[in-house]
Structure 1
Amino acid sequence: MEDVLDTYALPYDSNRPLVCLDEKPYVLHGDVSKPLPTRRMKPKKIDYEYTRNGYCAIISLIEPLTGKQYVDVRKRRTSRDFAEVIKWLVDDLYPSADKIILVMDNLNIHKIGSLYQRFEPKEARRLAGKLEIHYTPKHGSWLNIAEIGLNLLSRQCLNRRIPEIKQLRQEVTTWCSERNEKNLSIDWQFTTADARIKLHSLYPKIED
């Protein structure tokens, strides 16, 4: 916990950007009956019946100090998918960075080994060398700022039925673009000093 909190306290460095990663499953829902459009003084009417059109995974990357957020929608959530997202992060989102400080949870696919399952050893090693990984502790998902970004996405963009993965990708891409234009940084205020006071019961008891 303290390792992650100290990482969040680092000043902004464009050569060493701090990025948080998190993901969530998403169920694609379709309408059985066509919704009735909005009319003057009357809201859009949606029938309670719906269809399930399969599952997908939403992977979110957010840079807390600038507020930049990027989302990738994958058909599956496998080690290969994770590796491809890391390559996107390194080569497309931050190609000029010397090192990317990456905060994420301990999901079984969130490992350097996933890169070797997708790419040749030389490429996997290149990508791994670009990362400085800090893991949130078990049961400590609240420490991952990317979870805040996913909550915002869920409330502002995913709060309705989306039937197809293509439409989902279009919706989240538009949402991210509009948000990024506003430069809405995240003001994280919980520090290591705060943790030692407010969460003192979690620390081991030291006997003289």
Structure 2
Amino acid sequence: MDEQPVQLTKETRTPIPATRDRPKRVDYEYERNGTASLFLFCETLVGWRQVAARPRRTKVDWAEEVGRLLRTRYARCEPVTLVCDNLNTHTRGAFYEAFEPAEARAYLRKLRFCHTPKHGSWLNVAECELSCLTRQCLTGRRIGTLAKLRSETAAWSAATNATCRDVDWQFTTEQARINLKSLYPKFKH
């Protein structure tokens, strides 16, 4: 899983639709309408993605999104491996802030955390998928409300899931040993 902030922007003037003689005309001026956070979860081997848009990114928001997946998609799975970066909101304590202690403990018993190395979050496939989402769905568009953002990201997720597109991960162990040499522990002989 990974997350990303998004700026909400809306039109200040109604765009003029395209005609046979002229392309669509959009005024360069826009109005900033706040921010939102996208939480993206993916299963690379089955080609599944889910995007949730929330008004903010807090520990509670993160824990609630993970908890929702554990209650629904992964209700009968144990353990669930969650690959995420070392962000300050991705903590076990977040579950205790979001849920009653018994429920938080139940979620944490199901989870196995796998944190990407510091400065190595690009190893998290969800970060690559956020890049795809941004390029394919958000770039060059003005999305002014959280509801519209949710609608657009849900449509992207559904279309992507319909193709069952997997992730062609080409980073090998040998490449990791070369490229990530500084992250591996050094042993004295």
| TM-score bucket of the superposed structures, by smaller chain | over 0.9
Is residue 59 of structure 2 the alignment partner of residue 59 of structure 1? no
Q: Distance in 2 between matches of 1:106 and 1:203?
A: 17
For 1:87-108, what per-residue CA distance to the aligned partner results, in whole angstroms no more than 9, with x for missing partners?
1111122222122111000111
Shift of 1:204: 5.2
| Aligned structure 1 segments of 4 or more residues deviating by more than 6 angstroms | none
What RMSD in Å do the two structures reach over aligned CA positions?
A: 1.5
| Correspondence for 2:103 | 123
Q: How much does 1:191 deviate?
A: 2.8
State the Cα deviation string for residues 112-159 of structure 1 (Å, max 9, x = none): 100000111110011111111100111111111001111111011112
Matches within 5 A, 1:107-146: 107-146=87-126
- Does the residue aligned with 1:93 lie in a helix, a strand or coil? coil
Quick check: 1:66–1:186 contact (8 Å CA) kept in 2? no
Q: Which residue of 1 aligns with 2:176?
A: 195
Contact 1:66–1:183 (Cα < 8 Å) also in 2: yes
Tell me, what secondary structure is at the counterpart of 1:36? coil
Alignment of 1:176-187 (within 5 A): 176-187=157-168
Q: Percent of pairs identical after alignment?
A: 46
- Match 2:144 to one of 127, 139, 163: 163
Report the residue type matching 1:107 in the other structure. L
Distance 1:186 1:114 in 2: 29
Which moves more between the two structures, 147-156 or 39-48? 39-48
Counterparts in 2 of 1:175 and 1:116: CA distance versus 1, 3 Å: same
Q: Map 1:4-23; keep pairs closer than 5 Å.
A: 21-23=1-3
Amino acid at match of 1:166: A
| Equivalent residue for 2:24, pick from 36, 44, 49 | 44
Change (3 A) 1:205 1:55: same
Counterpart code for 1:130: K
Query: Matches of 2:184 and 2:113 in 1, distance apart?
Result: 23
Contact 2:117/2:183 (<8 A) preserved: no
Q: Partners of 2:82 and 2:171 in 1: how far apart?
A: 19
**TM-score normalised according to structure 1 size:** 0.85
SS of the counterpart of 2:36?
strand
TM-score (norm 2): 0.93
Q: Deviations over 1:45-87 (max 9, x none)?
A: 1111000000110110011111200000011111110111011
SS at match of 1:102: strand
Do the aligned partners of residues 39 and 116 (structure 1) sit closer, same or farther apart at CA in structure 2, a change above 3 Å counting? Answer: same
Unpaired runs of at least 5, structure 1: 1-20
1:89 maps to which residue? 69
CA distance in 1, matches of 2:64, 2:46: 24
